[in-house]
Amino acid sequence: MNGHPTREEDFDLYALGALEGEEKQAIESHLAGCRDCARKLAEAQGRIALLALAAPPTPPSAAVKQRLMSQIRADSERTASERDAPARPLPERAQGFFGSWWTAVLVPVGAALAIATVFLWNEDRQLNRQLEALHSTVRLEQQQLDQERQVADLLAASDTITIRLAQQPGMPAGSGQVSYNPKTGMLMYDGALAPAPANKSYQLWLVPVDGKPISAGVFNPAFGLPNHWMIGLPAGTAPKAFAVSLEPAGGMPQPTGPMVLVGPVS
């Protein structure tokens, strides 16, 4: 028993008007002093009201009422026996559409989708990195091909001149060579010089027939390693000589230091 002279189904029976005699009087007497049961009755009345709104009112016949009361009594006895029995898990359907069966399906599927999403995101990120690295490699190789093509075109041109640069007395040991095309202004330097003194840099110059020397590059060679580069100078400049001077670190707009290598154009 639940400590009240009422059963759970009595509230629905009372709201339906199916209780009579002593049963009706007992529940009405109890409701007067029990807020919990009064609340349950109000909920039952609400349910019955919704049912009443869902269908047109039709007064039941005496036979229907009798069958209803018999079914309710049978259900009441079965409910009482089930209430005294040990609690059992609710059947799957009683837990609603999103019950344990649906959860058992959704949870693994959701977890699998989350794992797949993370995996694909990582794969996409790695592929993007690999693609960027590949693009960088292609760009570098293209630059090297362009430079090699420029070197080949420069050396193959009939109007390209090649000038050897000789070491000047008392200067750091080394030598160099310049290939220059006055028509295109492309210049290539190859040389090997001892490292520059502290706070100094080497600077290559094109000394034109007319005008001031034109800087063709500033460099700081490592010990025992050659220097090589190409540079574009103003096209149509006729050279009188090429020279490498020793300048303050970073170079100067015009030569200020001693000439280390010099090569006149004959």
Residue 187, pLDDT above cutoff 80: yes
Q: Is residue 3 part of a domain?
A: no
Model confidence pLDDT, tens digit, residues 21-44: 888 888 888 878 888 888 887 887
Asked which of 118-122, 137-141, 163-167 is least confident by mean pLDDT, the reply is: 118-122
Residue 91 to residue 93: CA distance in whole angstroms: 6
Is the same domain home to 246 and 169?
yes
Is the same domain home to 256 and 176?
yes
CB burial of residue 7 (10 Å; 0-12, 13-18, 19+): middle
Give the end of a domain, one of 88, 110, 127.
88
Is the same domain home to 73 and 100?
no
Is the same domain home to 256 and 197?
yes
- Is the Cα dihedral 236, 240, 246, 252 positive or negative? negative
Residue 45 to residue 49: CA distance in whole angstroms: 6
Residue 160 to residue 265: CA distance in whole angstroms: 12
| β-strand pairing of 161-167 with 227-232 | unpaired
Nearest Cα neighbor of 233 from 257, 250, 217, 209 is 217
- Residue 141 lies in domain: 93-156
pLDDT of residue 233: 96
Q: Is residue 2 part of a domain?
A: no
Is the same domain home to 136 and 175?
no
Is the same domain home to 68 and 18?
yes
Q: Is residue 65 part of a domain?
A: yes
Q: What is the DSSP letter of 129?
A: H
pLDDT of residue 83: 62
Tell me the sheet residues that pair with 153: none
Give the end of a domain, one of 72, 88, 104.
88
Q: Is residue 145 part of a domain?
A: yes
pLDDT of residue 216: 97
Model confidence pLDDT, tens digit, residues 199-253: 999 999 999 999 999 999 999 998 768 899 999 999 999 999 999 999 999 999 9
pLDDT band at 119; cut points 50, 70, 90: low
pLDDT of residue 53: 53
Burial 209-229 (b: 16+ CB within 10 A, else e): eeeebbbbbebebeeeeebee
Query: Domain containing 211 — which CATH number?
Result: 2.60.40
Residue 186, pLDDT above cutoff 60: yes
Is the separation of the CB atoms in 207 and 243 below 8 Å?
yes
Q: Is residue 1 part of a domain?
A: no
Query: How many residues can be counted in the chain?
Result: 266
Is the same domain home to 182 and 259?
yes
Residue 147 to residue 165: CA distance in whole angstroms: 23
How many CB atoms are closer than 10 A to CB 79?
13
Model confidence pLDDT, tens digit, residues 234-245: 999 999 999 999
Nearest Cα neighbor of 263 from 161, 165, 162, 160 is 165
Is the same domain home to 176 and 251?
yes
Q: Is residue 101 part of a domain?
A: yes
Q: Is residue 45 part of a domain?
A: yes
Is the same domain home to 26 and 78?
yes
Give the end of a domain, one of 88, 104, 131.
88
CB burial of residue 138 (10 Å; 0-12, 13-18, 19+): exposed
Is the same domain home to 125 and 190?
no
Single-letter residue type at 130 = Q
Is the same domain home to 226 and 253?
yes
Is the same domain home to 16 and 80?
yes
Question: Considering its fold, how many domains does the chain have in total?
Answer: 3
